[in-house]
Amino acid sequence: MQIQPILAALRRHRLATALIALEIALACAVLCNACFIIAQRVSAMHIVSGADEAALASVQLTGYDSAQAADVDARALAALRAVPGVESVSPINSIPFGSRRGTAGISTDAAGEHFGGVIEFYVGGPGSLEALGAKVVAGRAPQPDDFRAFTGFMPDGGSVQITRALAEHLWPGADPLGKEFWSLKSHYRVVGVLKDLVRPDPTGWTPEQRQWSVFLPAQPGPYLTGSYLLRANPGDMPRVMRDALAAVAKAVPEVVIDREASQSVSDLRHDVFKNDRVMAAMLVGVIFAMLMVTALGIVGLASFWVQQRRRQIGIRRAIGATRRDILHYFQTENFLIVGGGIALGMVLAFALNLVLMKHYELPRLPLYYLPVAALALWVLGQLAVLGPALRAAAVPPVVATRSV
């Protein structure tokens, strides 16, 4: 089919053609960026924590005086370890998807000239790394001599385990074992590499930064009091948590149990990504509404043009055009309109992505979203125009001629 007659017809309907093309352009821009945001959220929700989530839970206490810390710690640990089904109880400052308590900047030199980023320090007592279930893939796990006393919010230095992601960030392509880094005046040496260990708050970081974690062995002290990691059989977890909270309330009645933070790690993960699920669902709704409006616009315009062109259709049928020819005419016309809208929509998609990058720290839109969105809109356009085109193709020549 020749394109020239179609272009000539579109030039006679510039306003309607431009409006549909602009609608398609907006749909393309929204579709690309909304799908990208949904993919980012879904990726975050499925992040590997590096912990044995189903077998872990957190108990968080507050409301006690620092002078009571040692006594509170002793009574709480004794009560928790006595609960049937509890396999281990370990003091630790943070847990995956829990409260953030060990965020700090680091450098790879003592002078602080080579900034290494903001990382998460998991500060845990004996047995806490094993309880987490984090896997050491290089080097060694903490040894008894590695657990140092607190001198502030953390031990001043010592041997640590870091994640593979952080090791690759700090020393790309190099063996991280034996490497050193500093946080303020504290000096740490890497003796082990963990496969994964996600930050407590992964949603607030880029995909690369979500695994920038360090495990720092420490002796139990005041800054670990009130924060406990429980390990139990996953099938017993609901009962164990219920009994554990009751046991602590009885053994240490003067403290306040943070019920929101005292949950299984699986439940904490669910709560952390609640907003992401809501946003993803809203964006799916926006995409669906946008595509529906676009499709209805195409259907409405095509139906209007079929009604206006009944005489032309009749003439073409009378001089030998087949139903297939009429059908292909409207499909080609729609393809050209959608193609023009997509071309403009790609520019708008990048412009919208730049705004999101500036104000919401969204990563750059990958190029492969553009052809996928283009294909989706072309398919949508062809499906939307199919009904009016079939009605046009079904107009008998005689009826069309008499309608003049």
Per-residue pLDDT tens, the chain, 404 aa: give them.
568 878 878 888 888 899 999 999 999 999 999 999 999 889 889 999 999 999 999 999 999 888 888 899 999 999 999 999 999 999 999 999 998 889 999 999 998 999 999 999 999 999 999 999 999 999 999 999 999 988 777 888 899 999 999 999 999 999 999 999 999 889 999 999 999 999 999 988 888 899 999 999 999 877 788 999 999 999 999 999 999 999 999 999 999 999 999 999 999 999 999 999 999 999 999 999 999 999 999 999 999 988 888 888 888 888 888 899 889 989 999 999 999 999 999 999 999 999 999 888 788 999 999 999 999 999 999 999 999 999 988 888 775 556 44
Q: Residue written as tokens 């009378």?
A: 318
CA distance 231 to 229: 7
SS3 for 167-185, per residue?
HHHHCCCCCCCCCEEEECC
pLDDT of the residue at 403: 45
The pLDDT, as a whole number, for residue 387 is 94
Q: State residue 153's pLDDT score.
A: 76
Place of tokens 């946080």: 183
d(CA 95, CA 253): 24
Q: Whose CA is closest to 219, among 160, 148, 159?
A: 148
DSSP 8-state assignment for residue 143: P
Rounded CA gap, 92 and 53, in Å?
A: 15
Provide the token pair at 67.
Answer: 């002078």
Half-sphere exposure of 87 (CA within 13 A, CB side): 16
Residue located via tokens 């790609």 = 346
Decide if 303 contacts 395 (C-beta within 8 A). no
Which residue in 403, 398, 402, 404 sits closest to 318, CA to CA?
Answer: 398
